[in-house]
Structure 1
Amino acid sequence: MIKHTNQQSIKRAALMISDADGLIITAGAGIGVDSGLPDFRGNQGFWQAYPALANKQIDFMSMANPQSFRKNPNLAWGFYGHRLALYRETIPHVGFRILKTLGETLSGGTFVVTSNVDGQFQKAGFSEKGILEIHGSIHLCQCIEPCKEDIWSAAGLNPEVDESSCQWLGPLPACSHCQSIARPNILMFRDSEWLEGHFLEQESNWNMWRKVVKRPVVIELGAGIDIPSIRYFSERQESPLIRINPRDDVLSKVNVGVSISMGAKDALIAIAQELDLNF
């Protein structure tokens, strides 16, 4: 059952989409929860997903850190290898298809800006040229040093992980140039070694798209307040904003828009139904 206030917000959101010439999708980790991906909000959520790290009292910030690959590379790759396998297996929920269909109804199309590293938008059929991953991607690798500016695909990695200890089994991924340990091309905490080449290419695509589309609407999904980079990005667009979040749905006073206190999948289904969208 949709709350009365959410019903009104969904009607307003549908009108905002109808008036737009392009769709900016801004997405945080919350969009993946309906696909079964873990929520790392706070230590308890992280440790529930990774009990081996809970036993050692290792938190997310300590693991998502380039130093973890130097201190304990088997543990670091155990964590990231498990995530890589999980994201490869995960099927994006119906909300992704709704977003793609919504964008196809607008003359300017769609651009995705996400802090997620999971590649779920690409898996759902969104064009690589229409995606900006501000924190990088787990599906790409780089040298830990880094010895060169090279970024390469992780498609050749076949993670084997002992989940009981969160340990990578077998030879560790390595840089083909210097044989140092490889790491995911993800912007981590306290990270001065992240190679930005792929990100900068994506950012260039974003800048070109944004110059062409004059009246976009922003749909923000599952963007939290603990690391508010996506929320700030949404608010900077000076465009109508639809904020979808079951917990942190409050809009900034400077934004024209609407907030919907629901999960991403349910809210998108409701909007699609309001627009008589076939999905």
Structure 2
Amino acid sequence: MQSQPCDLNEVRRAAEILVNAKHAIAFTGAGISTESGIPDFRGPQGLWRQYSPEIATTEYFHSHPKEFWAFYRVRLSSIFIAKPNRAHLALAELEGMGIIKAVITQNVDGLHQAAGSKNVIELHGTMKRARCIVCGREYPMDIVIRKIDSGQLPPLCDDCGGILKPDVVLFGEPVKDFDKAQELAMRSDAVLVIGSSLTVYPAAYIPIFVKEMGGKVIIINMEPTELDYLADVVIRCRAGDAMTALLSMVKELLNRGG
């Protein structure tokens, strides 16, 4: 979808919700990182338009570890050169201001932490490290990359020779820290959803939990989502544009005393 200007009336409504909230959280998906050069999964240029989602299943990893790691080596190329964009930085600033209490993310790129966000729950794990499936030893991903680039495909554990697996949640595996994320959502009175298609469960339950507890839902996404009908505010523009405008509007409202 072609980029379009943000509706500033909707941005103001979102800012008012956040300023008046006592416990607002953010929930982010791949769309917040596309401006950092990391392709999303389900968008017009998404990874699943180029590759079969089967490649990200636990079954595929165990049956075709060499091909699995060849695919992930390509993904790592974009992730490891990526820098936080305006949306990540604005969200981290909102957390620093006390407006956003925590970030729950589906992303595995570590860009929230790189931007300065402190309280981050990574439901789908992280690409910043790998783990041996036999003995459990952890490896920083830069070491794994060196193993692959030196010809070791799939990369193996130095201790036991087991195959290394990126510390991410594959299809067919349970998400990480979901109980913690659910508890956080159920005591929040607002959720700012950025760049998620809201089609992957159980992660997409997060805004539903907030809504069911009487909270407000703000959705920032370039395209319609599965849960737009739940939203109190929908902002249909690029995440960087929306978050830059939203941060500015929040500051303006605070300076006026809310």
Could you state the TM-score of these two structures normalised by the residue count of structure 1? 0.74
Change (3 A) 1:272 1:183: same
Paired residue total: 246
1: distance between equivalents of 2:69 and 2:187?
Answer: 43
Structure 1 residues 124-273: aligned runs within 5 Å? 124-127=115-118, 130-143=119-132, 146-159=133-146, 170-171=151-152, 172-191=154-173, 199-200=176-177, 204=180, 210=184, 216-237=189-210, 238=213, 239-249=215-225, 251=227, 255=230, 257-273=232-248
Maintained 8 Å contact 1:28/1:230: no
1: distance between equivalents of 2:109 and 2:245?
Answer: 25
- Within the alignment, does 1:93 sit opposite 2:74 as a pair? no
Q: Which moved more, 1:38-47 or 1:12-21?
A: 38-47
SS at match of 1:157: helix
Partner of 1:164 in structure 2? Answer: none
Change (3 A) 1:263 1:135: same
Structure 1 residue 132: deviation in Å? 1.1
Give structure 2 stretches of 5+ with no counterpart: 253-258
Structure 1 residue 101: deviation in Å? 1.2
Structure 1 residue 222: deviation in Å? 1.0
Maintained 8 Å contact 1:243/1:258: yes
Structure 1 residue 188: deviation in Å? 1.0
2: distance between equivalents of 1:17 and 1:235?
Answer: 17
Summarize deviations over 1:213-248 as a string: whole Å, max 9, x none.
965421101111442544321121232111111212
Q: Aligned Cα RMSD in Å?
A: 3.2
Structure 1 residue 156: deviation in Å? 2.4
2: distance between equivalents of 1:67 and 1:214?
Answer: 36
2: distance between equivalents of 1:29 and 1:36?
Answer: 11
Maintained 8 Å contact 1:25/1:218: yes
Give structure 1 stretches of 5+ with no counterpart: 49-53, 162-167
Summarize deviations over 1:66-112 as a string: whole Å, max 9, x none.
333343333211211222232121011111111111122227x5211
Percent identity (aligned): 26
